[in-house]
Amino acid sequence: MAENDDLLPEFLAEAADIIEKIHGDLEKLPGAQDRSELITAIFRNVHTLKGSSSMFNFSRTKSIAHELETNLGKFKESPQTLNDPEIQYIRDEVQKIDELLKAKDQLDLVPGTLNSPGEPSADTRADNKELLPAASKTPQATVNATEEYIRVTVNRVNETMNIVSEVFLIRNQMVYLVDRFKSGNLDQRDFFQTWDMLDGALRRGVGELERSTMSMRMMSVQGLFNRMARSVQSYSAKTNKKILFQTVGENTELDKKILDVLGEPLIHLIRNAMDHGIESPSDRIRSNKPEIGTIILSATISGNEAVVEVKDDGKGIDAKKILASAQKKGLDVSHVTDDQSAIELIFLPGFSTAETVSEVSGRGVGMDAVKTSVTSLSGKVTIHTEVGKGSTFSIRLPVSMSLAPVVLIDIKGLKYAVPTSDILETKQVPFSWVKRNSGFDYVNFRDKYVKCIDLRSIMDAEEKSHEENMRSCSIVFFRTSNETCAARVSSFERNTEIVVKPLSGLSPNIPWVYGVAVLPTGEAIFVLSLAKILEEFEVTNAA
């Protein structure tokens, strides 16, 4: 058993791949010319799952796989008997195996999360507990099971190896340089010049190494979205609801750690949308809506955040009903002041009860579990809903925990950060380069005058003792969506890297502040969006 425990994480990772392949083949089945080849591939994969499950004593998984294998054998014999209901049957059975294995995965990796959303039914859990007493009891087994896997292409590994060898070469050149200097074969000027050059190359190399390593953790949301699509397909097949499922931004990449946890809250939101959001075809026709309901799952990157949204065109959430329901359940509603705060009651533990449980979305686990999962990733979940029109659940998450390169600037003695990616150039320019006309300042940039905002007059802070260069001005050139602009600051500090955090929900909403960061000195600084400052400044000016 101990040996098998060592292999368990590997099996689970491999099983996830196999299940993904089976689903891929199932997608191709309806339109395929040679169906027997696809059925054979599915048969072979199910057989592998059965064998491995047997090795780990997963008796329930094994028996499902066994029965499926038997039926697949029949389909192999007579492919013409394989129609939509049969394909759906295979899909459902594979889904069951997937859920069982995923529950197994969670049982070992996070022992305290048995009540997470979208968890398999109670008998599934009992099955796993019963089958794996050793795995859940011995500390050794838990340690083994916490091993995580990332699938990385060989190209990405080779790329990283190349950077490592470059960095190593630079280090050797540095050693050689120091040796030559020590032995008197190099004068001081040459030594420092070459040292500076090598130091610059080393910095670039380390930066590339960081990017390359971080990119290994980044995975596209495609696989996750496919899982959600299957869930919708399987639901549509079981009920009379007609649902069109659309995905947007499947290539968006997220940190693997985030992606792993995101699946459960997302499936819960989608099940909710299908079950409670989208109306029955007859109700939709009565409401002058298309008979087919639409659910759009999208992922986009906004600044340092990924926004994953589940949008449906269903009946929306009625704030009054939610409030009444919460009161009936004895929940604290004293803080409810408006519709939005009433709707947010659905996030309270205990809001979801047997009344709202259905076969699809209800397992007695409420939206509070969705909120808990998202919060555990330093993310936030918000709802926008309109009765009769539909609901949008937005999950905002950090893309990764990586550092953002910024330029620190000084405005009236206070430091601010501007993301390097927003900046075209920072420059000390003579005063004569700045011209004023029709209420605007303009500054010369590459032989062309561009609009210039003076951040020193925009910021409310009082002028602190600060020595400004009296002969020239410090200008940051940046690009908005359609033009190049400039911003005058008191001075430049330096380039650095920081972790940008969102402002607290109690802080005022200043549209041109991306977030806040803490410097190594302990100083909290605001990260500015120059393009949005310009937008705001122009609006104020126009007014």
Partner 1 sequence: MQPDEILKNQLNYRHTLSQDGKYASELSTYLQITIANSYFVIPISEVGEVSEFLPIRPYPSEVAGHVGVINLRGKVIPVISMEQFGGRKESKPNSRIVILNTDTTASNSEQLALIVDSVKKISAPSAESGNVITLDNNPVRVLSGGLILESWGIKPCSR
Q: Which among 233-241, 254-262, 307-315, 508-516 is the span making contact with partner 1, rule CB under 8 A?
A: 508-516
Instruction: Verify binding: residue 516, partner 1, rule CB under 8 A.
Output: yes
- Select from 62, 91, 271, 371 the one that contacts partner 1 (CB under 8 A): 371
Instruction: Verify binding: residue 409, partner 1, rule CB under 8 A.
Output: no
Q: Within 309-338, which residues bind partner 1 (CB under 8 A)?
A: 335, 337
- Select from 177, 237, 387, 414 the one that contacts partner 1 (CB under 8 A): 414
DSSP for 184-234 reads T-S-HHHHHHHHHHHHHHHHHHHHHHHHHHHHHHEEESHHHHHHHHHHHHH
- In the complex, minimum distance from the CB of residue 462 to partner 1, in angstroms, rounded to a whole number: 9
Instruction: Verify binding: residue 477, partner 1, rule CB under 8 A.
Output: no
- Select from 191, 347, 433, 449 the one that contacts partner 1 (CB under 8 A): 347
Q: Which among 19-27, 187-195, 280-288, 503-511 is the span making contact with partner 1, rule CB under 8 A?
A: 503-511
Q: Which residues contact 355 (CB under 8 A, 6 or more apart)?
A: 325
- In the complex, minimum distance from the CB of residue 159 to partner 1, in angstroms, rounded to a whole number: 33
- In the complex, minimum distance from the CB of residue 268 to partner 1, in angstroms, rounded to a whole number: 15
Instruction: Verify binding: residue 459, partner 1, rule CB under 8 A.
Output: yes
CA dist 454 and 489 (Å) reads 7
- In the complex, minimum distance from the CB of residue 492 to partner 1, in angstroms, rounded to a whole number: 17
The SS3 assignment for 331 reads coil
CA dist 160 and 340 (Å) reads 48
Q: Which CB, 94 or 395, lies closer to partner 1?
A: 395
Question: What's the Rg (C-alpha) of the chain?
Answer: 29
Q: What b/e sequence results for 186-216 when a residue is b if at least 16 CB atoms lie within 10 Å of its CB, and e otherwise?
A: beeeebeebeeebeebbeebeebeeebeebb
Instruction: Verify binding: residue 202, partner 1, rule CB under 8 A.
Output: no
Q: Within 519-538, which residues bind partner 1 (CB under 8 A)?
A: 522-526, 528
- Select from 345, 397, 473, 530 the one that contacts partner 1 (CB under 8 A): 345
The beta-carbon contacts of 132-139 under 8 Å, at least 24 apart in sequence, are 132/56, 132/57, 132/104, 132/107, 132/108, 134/1, 134/5, 135/5, 135/8, 135/107, 135/108, 136/107, 136/108, 136/111
- In the complex, minimum distance from the CB of residue 335 to partner 1, in angstroms, rounded to a whole number: 6
Q: Which among 122-130, 149-157, 418-426, 512-520 is the span making contact with partner 1, rule CB under 8 A?
A: 512-520
- Select from 108, 127, 344, 422 the one that contacts partner 1 (CB under 8 A): 344
Q: In what order do the strands lie in the sheet with 380-386?
A: 243-248, 293-302, 305-312, 390-398, 380-386
Task: Give me the numbers of helices (H) and strands (E) for the chain, helices first please.
Answer: 17, 18
DSSP for 114-149 reads TT-TTPPPHHHHHHHHHH-HHHHH-HHHHHHHT---
Instruction: Verify binding: residue 513, partner 1, rule CB under 8 A.
Output: yes
- In the complex, minimum distance from the CB of residue 341 to partner 1, in angstroms, rounded to a whole number: 5
Q: Which CB, 139 or 505, lies closer to partner 1?
A: 505
Instruction: Verify binding: residue 380, partner 1, rule CB under 8 A.
Output: yes
> Are 217 and 150 within 8 A, CB to CB?
yes
DSSP for 434-446 reads EEEETTEEEEEET
- In the complex, minimum distance from the CB of residue 486 to partner 1, in angstroms, rounded to a whole number: 18
Q: Which CB, 288 or 504, lies closer to partner 1?
A: 504
CA dist 408 and 527 (Å) reads 9
- Select from 178, 301, 401, 518 the one that contacts partner 1 (CB under 8 A): 518
Q: Which residues contact 364 (CB under 8 A, 6 or more apart)?
A: 352, 353, 354, 357
- In the complex, minimum distance from the CB of residue 321 to partner 1, in angstroms, rounded to a whole number: 15
CA dist 525 and 416 (Å) reads 6
Half-sphere exposure of 486 (CA within 13 A, CB side): 25
CA dist 72 and 68 (Å) reads 6
Q: Within 235-264, which residues bind partner 1 (CB under 8 A)?
A: none
Q: Within 111-170, which residues bind partner 1 (CB under 8 A)?
A: none
Q: Which CB, 315 or 396, lies closer to partner 1?
A: 396
Task: With CB under 8 A as the rule, give the number of residues binding partner 1.
Answer: 39
- In the complex, minimum distance from the CB of residue 516 to partner 1, in angstroms, rounded to a whole number: 5
Residues in contact with partner 1 by CB under 8 A are: 335, 337, 341, 344-348, 371, 380-382, 396, 411, 414, 416, 458-461, 501-510, 513, 516, 518, 522-526, 528
